[in-house]
Amino acid sequence: MTDQLMTIERVALLHQVEFFAGVPSHSLASVSRLAEEVEKESGEPLIVEGEEGDCLYAIARGRVRIEQGGRNLTEPGEGEVVGELAVLSPGPRNASAIALEPSLFLRLGAEVVAELLLDYPQVTRGIIEVLVGRLRPRAKDDMP
């Protein structure tokens, strides 16, 4: 995988991500230029549990498996985001993300996301909704 995404493709991808959906395209174009493309082959780790993190990854192509303590949690794919907790509170990652197939990601650092949070309150609401949605199924599974 050597082809680079054009700005319009990056903007379209970010619009697919639930918490960026309400951000105007011209703003996402600026943000997308600050994103770094990251490629991973099948079986390669994108995020390693316990390592320091300060960015999130939007999945442009492919799929990852999220693991925590050796337990499989979920398998997000194109248009989804992983690692978003690290942009809200940089620190050790609480789970690993491993590519399940050749994959392409857009990496956004905490500083870029922080600017979006200040400029677009709908991003904050979107992130909260995504995080709550991820916690609810787990809470049900953990109940007796």
Residue 1 has pLDDT above 60, yes or no: no
| Distances 12 to 28, 33, 57 between C-alpha atoms, Å | 9, 13, 15
- At 5-16, the pLDDT tens digits run 888 888 888 888
Residue 139: Cβ within 10 Å count: 8
Query: What pLDDT score does 88 carry?
Result: 85
C-beta separation of 49 from 69 below 8 A: yes
Residue 142 has pLDDT above 80, yes or no: no
Tell which CATH classification among 3.20.20.70, 2.60.120.10, 3.20.20.370, 3.40.190.10 matches the domain 7-138: 2.60.120.10
Instruction: Report the chain's mean pLDDT, rounded to a whole number.
Output: 86
